[in-house]
A and B are shown apart, each in its own frame.
Chain A
Amino acid sequence: MNRRVFLKGIGGVSLAAPFLPSVAEKAAKAQGMTTTPPKRLVIYFTHNGCLTNRWWPKVTTYTNGAATLTADMLKGQTLEPLSPYIAKLTIPRGFRSMNAYGSGQSIDPHDQAVGSKLTCATIDSANKRYATAASLDHVIAKQINPNQASPLVLSVGAASTQIKEVVSFSGPGTAFPATVNPLTVYNQLTGVFGTGGTTGGTGQASYLVKRKQSVLDLCKQDLTRYQALKMSKQDKTLVQTWMDLLRTTETGIVPTASPTSCSKTTAEAAPFTATSANVMAASPTGKITLGSVLGNTPDPVGDANLATSFTKGGDMFLNLIALSMICDSNRMIMMLYPGYVTFNWDGIMHTHEHHGLSHRTGDFTVGGACGVTGVLDMIWQIDKWYAGKYAKLVGLLDSINESNGTLLDNTATMWLPELSDGAAHNLNNLPIVVAGKAGGYLKTGQVVNVEGTGTPQMGNSDMSCANGGNIGNTGSSGGMLPINKLYVTLMNAVGCTATGMPGGGKVTQFGQFDGTGSSGGITNPGEVTKLTSAG
């Protein structure tokens, strides 16, 4: 398959970017259908669970396992900042993600929760505990991304290849660590910015185009030498991937359309204000505290950079996510946050790191005495901070108009957690919210019990440690529907097919297994019709 990638032109030339199509869109175009804006999936990922009973909407009555979401239901709850968007939200109750510690593998609850989260596969304790399959973002990116570009995986905080912070896997055992520097993403985008609809043609533009082609030819011929060697299959694939990247840009092709909104002017204006200076100010220049399950000793430089990363950096990432979508350089985007940092920004002044607080003990020990006075309030501060940023992302996407609605309307923007409750480490009854209807595939404005018609439990996060004492059961029961089905629903929502080709039919399954163990294949295939507008 021919690939075209939005590369930064030498000297900043813009290769004005038409909506370069996935295979399905090429086919649609060929059939003369109008090109509507593409559909995108955004995953916002946080660690250590939450106070579940404060997180979910307070639904009094489910009718046939669903309820229309109202602002009242969010009042006083963690998701209250999402009130302006209730008509565009779906809150699915009842999913369980894979590989719970003890019933699945018995390596480490967090490593398993993270490694299996988007892969629904086992982790390999002989290979850094990495997952044994590619993750959802890579599977989706291959199908829907222009040029099959890799998913855009971003993280606040320090770069890490440790399993606790790696959710994305480009293949079995191959981690795809997040990019933590807004400047790296911004640099790529500046090569995509259009000139407002004009095509190349001036002498200046043409030297840059020629230059780019000459260098690409040089690089291609370099790789051709490697291709002549008797290499292993894996090496051949690596070389071919690189060659595909190089083959993308072709001189002489006049871009047919340039989304005028994909421009430096747009980037620098409100709401993004992504000027070069602002992006640099949001980007790390030195060491960022990584955060440790052993607790964090103060480090003035690292901690200051961490605070910048969480505040300015994260906010700039939200802007860059929106711009990436506007420029259609990526349709599969993930925004990750680290799990073991001590919150010291935006009015939160903690002395224990998040993971330790989520245990209620203040450190990695499990169970026993509630180790930190006021621990529930501290967890709630963090929960609300994350909800605020998620709401900011949702609001930002909803403020951008596309031809048929807002950018948000053409996405499924999901907040997906590592765990339900951090002390219980339970994976059932996961607190999940999806914003956006993915172009109409999803039915929004509702809280849905995907498991049945009963009333889902709000959980016991608040039951312990309100006034010291010992940590009891902070989890909940029920909510056991395999998350694989949510992923299938989302894959269909953004236009994936079972074969990866147009007309390939709906996706029906995802992952290695969907049982409570860590094997056994897929026993409950299919999407969740209740979440779709057809259901």
Chain B
Amino acid sequence: MKSWSMIFFAAATLVGGCVGKVGDPHSGGSSSSGTGNNTGSGSGASSGSGSGASSGTGNAVVSGVGGNAGSSTTVITGAAGAGVTFCDTRGISVTSQVPRLTNAQYDRVIADLLGVQQLKASNNVQPSTILATDQAGGLSDLGWSSYQTVADLIAAQVMGDATLKKNFMKCTPTGDGKTCLHDTIVQFGRKAFRRPLTTDEIARFDKIVSDGPTLTATGTVDEIATLVLYSFLVSPSFLTRAEMTETSDGAGNYQLSSQEVAQRLSFMLWGSIPDDTLNTAADANQLSTPTQILQQAQRMLMSDKARLKIADFHRYYILMGPNTRWDNINKDPALFPTFASALVPTLEAETEKFFDAVAMVKKGTFQDLFLSPTAFVTASTAPLYGLSASGFTTDFKEATLDASRPGFLTRVGFLNAYAFYNRTSPIHRGAFIMKQVLGTPIGTPPPGAEATALPPASADLNTNRKQVDAQTTGGVCESCHHSYINPAGFALESFDAMGVAQTKEKSSGAAIDTASDVVIDGNAVHITGAVDLMNKLAASPMAQHRYAERLTSYLYEREGDAMDCGTVNDLAAKIAPGGYTLQNLISDLTQTPQFRTRAVGAM
């Protein structure tokens, strides 16, 4: 994997051991020159070890080979003079020219191209349900066989339905159908292959038509048309997001054709094929300059398809998905009698709606993600927010919360997901903020750490905070937990395990203390509580950089690639002054040389 971490800490504020320990050079590949950072891979999200990030899909901060010699670095200096350094390499990443459609993309492409969402002849399942599981290696025989089976079913379904048929054939065949089918080959092929067919390709498909009577049961035009559609759907050029143009960009890389740019645009912003408008622009060569590309990108961002894609990005950003903490919320009925498992999808949905509203509807900024008072509330979550349920129904209603609830981290979705069955978890909330929000490589707990017992409540340990503090005192735990992990979680102790505001510990009546020192941008910053923390996070260069890095990784489909360091820094710099919309950040990623060119080499 040619990628490397993008952050290391200047030594000043490091309590020896925590982040430093994580910085074990990763075996596997030489580390490059330049910044020489090699932050270890121990920050992996491990669902088995109870650390904050639990999707189990592995960490984003990876070390290894990469980077050009002589790379510069961007240094951000904290108030106390401590530095946080990001890599700043720029270059064109080597990417595969022949990535196959993922199963998720396949379903969307078939839906957009032909209007088929369920296979009628196969239990009404989504087409990808009977494809072989996605895998990055070469196409397997089962994979190939399943593409053919599904193409068969789709072709039959489309040709058997008068409405769907029109998605394939815009003309009505007469006589032997050759003229109409030829036109269909040209027109449908253009969409299916995301580029115009070559004359040879058109001739080959024409030959299928003219051979049609010997290739079909009874030689009817419909049968031949079905065969043509089937042939498109099993063609490598349909199943692959190919990039073939070998026009030099004058700098040692290849310039993508307009059609290839269109393909990148549509898969990046929609996860599917270009629409007619985009295809027309591509064919008129109106996608070669950044301005031209931007115009299309901004148009495409207004589509609901973009909303779905960006929603998927934000799930990636906050580690939401199957098997994550978000999906497995459960609360003690004795302590939380209002909790029901039916609440879990609501808690996820209110979070998703928040991100969608900020990013796509209100055209908000990065800062808004942490500061916006917008919330989506139902009758079951209203009481959690301290609102009367009578103003709400089972459907979500947009509300404006008071100043105590800024941003997604004070929404009940996050607060529930990052809490235990019967109490809050400052460790999980803190680890999420340090790692996922600030991008601090805090590492994974050492073996057996999560088995460390919580000291029981007592006169001295009369709050959950004090118990957790004692739990993580001494031994190998203290350096990371006391300085890095716990403090951000303590600042959120004003919200209980269901996200309800609290000022006293339920069990003891003791006052909740939310003051703590949180390491932000290399410095321990005194935080008074949740609102203060959100303000600081919104303004934090590290948090801004982290978001930019996540966005780049997700949209460019490559995590933590050294060649994208400069791009990430550029985005972070746009975020910093405030007022820069997330939509503009997204479209900025279509403006880079990386977006218009490709490089060839060892991958």
A residues contacting B by CB (< 8 A) are 5-8, 10-11, 101-102, 106-111, 124-129, 132, 147, 149-150, 152, 158-159, 161-164, 170-171, 173-181, 183-185, 187-188, 191, 204, 207, 210-211, 214-215, 217-219, 221-223, 225-226, 229-235, 237-239, 241-242, 245, 280, 283-286, 290-299, 340, 364-368
| B600 touches A (CB below 8 Å) | yes
**A368's contact among B122, B236, B453, by CB below 8 Å, is which?**
B453
Q: Are B451 and A188 in contact (CB under 8 A)?
A: no
Interface size class of B (residues with CB under 8 A): 35 or more
Q: Are B451 and A8 in contact (CB under 8 A)?
A: no
* Bound Cα distance from A211 to B58, whole angstroms: 45
| Given A149-B141, A231-B97, CB of A107 within 8 Å of CB of B134 | no
**B602's contact among A170, A215, A233, A296, by CB below 8 Å, is which?**
A233
Interface centre among A162, A204, A291 (most CB of B within 10 A): A162
Rounded to whole Å, the gap between the CB of B26 and the closest CB of chain A is 6
Identify 16 residue pairs between A and B in the complex whose beta-carbon atoms are under 8 Å apart, listed by A's number: A125-B44, A126-B62, A149-B140, A150-B141, A162-B57, A162-B323, A170-B135, A175-B135, A183-B122, A184-B130, A191-B145, A230-B246, A232-B96, A242-B236, A245-B141, A297-B328
For residue A221, which residue of chain B has the nearest CB? B204
* Bound Cα distance from A243 to B394, whole angstroms: 54
* Bound Cα distance from A508 to B135, whole angstroms: 30
| Given A125-B42, A235-B98, A296-B328, CB of A180 within 8 Å of CB of B323 | no
Rounded to whole Å, the gap between the CB of B69 and the closest CB of chain A is 22
Q: Are B216 and A211 in contact (CB under 8 A)?
A: yes
| Given A164-B56, A187-B149, A297-B341, CB of A152 within 8 Å of CB of B142 | yes
| Given A184-B142, A296-B328, A297-B327, CB of A215 within 8 Å of CB of B447 | no
* Bound Cα distance from A226 to B600, whole angstroms: 14
Q: Are A297 and B149 in contact (CB under 8 A)?
A: no
**Which residues of chain A have C-beta atoms less than 8 A from B148's C-beta?**
7-8, 10
Interface centre among B59, B140, B207, B324 (most CB of A within 10 A): B140
**A187's contact among B56, B130, B329, B344, by CB below 8 Å, is which?**
B130
Q: Are A280 and B122 in contact (CB under 8 A)?
A: yes
| Given A7-B144, A283-B123, A285-B129, CB of A207 within 8 Å of CB of B137 | no
* Bound Cα distance from A210 to B207, whole angstroms: 13
**Which residues of chain B have C-beta atoms less than 8 A from A367's C-beta?**
448, 451
| B205 touches A (CB below 8 Å) | yes
| B177 touches A (CB below 8 Å) | no
**A179's contact among B62, B142, B227, by CB below 8 Å, is which?**
B142
| B41 touches A (CB below 8 Å) | yes
* Bound Cα distance from A240 to B351, whole angstroms: 45
For residue B125, which residue of chain A has the nearest CB? A285
Within 8 A of A (CB), among B311-340: 322-325, 327-330
**B48's contact among A187, A286, A295, A364, by CB below 8 Å, is which?**
A364
| Given A184-B130, A230-B246, CB of A297 within 8 Å of CB of B329 | yes
For residue A294, which residue of chain B has the nearest CB? B328
| B211 touches A (CB below 8 Å) | yes
**Which residues of chain A have C-beta atoms less than 8 A from B451's C-beta?**
365-368
| Given A181-B130, A366-B450, CB of A294 within 8 Å of CB of B47 | yes
For residue A213, which residue of chain B has the nearest CB? B215
Interface centre among A187, A225, A280, A367 (most CB of B within 10 A): A187
* Bound Cα distance from A294 to B49, whole angstroms: 10
Q: Are A222 and B235 in contact (CB under 8 A)?
A: yes
Q: Are A232 and B601 in contact (CB under 8 A)?
A: yes
Q: Are B44 and A218 in contact (CB under 8 A)?
A: no
For residue A242, which residue of chain B has the nearest CB? B139
| B77 touches A (CB below 8 Å) | no
| Given A125-B44, A292-B327, CB of A226 within 8 Å of CB of B142 | no
* Bound Cα distance from A235 to B601, whole angstroms: 10
**Which residues of chain B have C-beta atoms less than 8 A from A366's C-beta?**
448, 450-451
| B133 touches A (CB below 8 Å) | yes
| B230 touches A (CB below 8 Å) | yes
Q: Are A106 and B600 in contact (CB under 8 A)?
A: no
Rounded to whole Å, the gap between the CB of A49 and the closest CB of chain B is 15
Q: Are A295 and B129 in contact (CB under 8 A)?
A: no
Q: Are A298 and B149 in contact (CB under 8 A)?
A: no
| Given A150-B140, A234-B96, CB of A184 within 8 Å of CB of B132 | yes
Q: Are A294 and B325 in contact (CB under 8 A)?
A: yes
* Bound Cα distance from A352 to B328, whole angstroms: 13
* Bound Cα distance from A527 to B138, whole angstroms: 31
* Bound Cα distance from A46 to B600, whole angstroms: 42
B residues contacting A by CB (< 8 A) are 1, 26, 28, 41-42, 44, 46-50, 54, 56-59, 62-64, 94, 96-98, 122-125, 129-142, 144-146, 148-149, 152, 198, 200-201, 204-205, 207-208, 211, 214-217, 227, 230-231, 234-237, 242, 244, 246, 322-325, 327-330, 341, 344, 444, 446-448, 450-451, 453, 600-603
Apart from A222-B237, A232-B97, A234-B602, 18 more pairs, CB < 8 Å: A7-B141, A11-B217, A106-B446, A125-B44, A162-B323, A164-B56, A171-B137, A175-B136, A179-B132, A179-B133, A183-B122, A184-B149, A214-B207, A218-B204, A226-B242, A229-B97, A239-B98, A365-B451
* Bound Cα distance from A237 to B137, whole angstroms: 10
For residue A340, which residue of chain B has the nearest CB? B323
Rounded to whole Å, the gap between the CB of A54 and the closest CB of chain B is 26
* Bound Cα distance from A173 to B235, whole angstroms: 28
* Bound Cα distance from A47 to B526, whole angstroms: 46
* Bound Cα distance from A97 to B8, whole angstroms: 37
**Which residues of chain B have C-beta atoms less than 8 A from A280's C-beta?**
122-123
Q: Are A214 and B211 in contact (CB under 8 A)?
A: yes
**Which residues of chain B have C-beta atoms less than 8 A from A285's C-beta?**
123-125, 129
* Bound Cα distance from A175 to B134, whole angstroms: 10
Q: Are B234 and A219 in contact (CB under 8 A)?
A: yes
**Which residues of chain A have C-beta atoms less than 8 A from B54's C-beta?**
294
**Which residues of chain B have C-beta atoms less than 8 A from A237's C-beta?**
138
For residue A206, which residue of chain B has the nearest CB? B214
**Which residues of chain A have C-beta atoms less than 8 A from B446's C-beta?**
106
Q: Are A5 and B125 in contact (CB under 8 A)?
A: no
Interface centre among B207, B217, B322 (most CB of A within 10 A): B322
Q: Are A170 and B235 in contact (CB under 8 A)?
A: no
Q: Are B235 and A177 in contact (CB under 8 A)?
A: no
| Given A215-B230, A364-B50, CB of A170 within 8 Å of CB of B133 | no
* Bound Cα distance from A79 to B57, whole angstroms: 36
User: Top 5 closest A-B pairs, CB basis?
Assistant: A241-B138, A170-B137, A150-B140, A128-B58, A188-B145
**Which residues of chain B have C-beta atoms less than 8 A from A173's C-beta?**
1
Q: Are A222 and B236 in contact (CB under 8 A)?
A: yes
**Which residues of chain A have C-beta atoms less than 8 A from B63's C-beta?**
126
**Which residues of chain A have C-beta atoms less than 8 A from B56's C-beta?**
162-164, 293
**Which residues of chain A have C-beta atoms less than 8 A from B124's C-beta?**
285
Rounded to whole Å, the gap between the CB of A287 and the closest CB of chain B is 8
**Which residues of chain B have C-beta atoms less than 8 A from A7's C-beta?**
141, 144-145, 148
Q: Are A238 and B138 in contact (CB under 8 A)?
A: yes
For residue A365, which residue of chain B has the nearest CB? B451
**Which residues of chain A have C-beta atoms less than 8 A from B204's C-beta?**
217-218, 221
* Bound Cα distance from A242 to B242, whole angstroms: 14
Rounded to whole Å, the gap between the CB of A342 and the closest CB of chain B is 12
Q: Are A127 and B142 in contact (CB under 8 A)?
A: no
* Bound Cα distance from A237 to B64, whole angstroms: 24
**A185's contact among B122, B142, B236, by CB below 8 Å, is which?**
B142
Rounded to whole Å, the gap between the CB of B404 and the closest CB of chain A is 29
Rounded to whole Å, the gap between the CB of B155 and the closest CB of chain A is 10
* Bound Cα distance from A7 to B140, whole angstroms: 11
**Which residues of chain B have C-beta atoms less than 8 A from A233's C-beta?**
602
Q: Are A245 and B139 in contact (CB under 8 A)?
A: yes
**B215's contact among A110, A124, A176, A210, by CB below 8 Å, is which?**
A210
Q: Are B142 and A188 in contact (CB under 8 A)?
A: yes
Q: Are A178 and B133 in contact (CB under 8 A)?
A: yes
* Bound Cα distance from A241 to B138, whole angstroms: 6
**Which residues of chain A have C-beta atoms less than 8 A from B230's C-beta?**
10, 215
**Which residues of chain B have C-beta atoms less than 8 A from A226's C-beta?**
97-98, 236, 242, 244
Q: Are B97 and A180 in contact (CB under 8 A)?
A: no
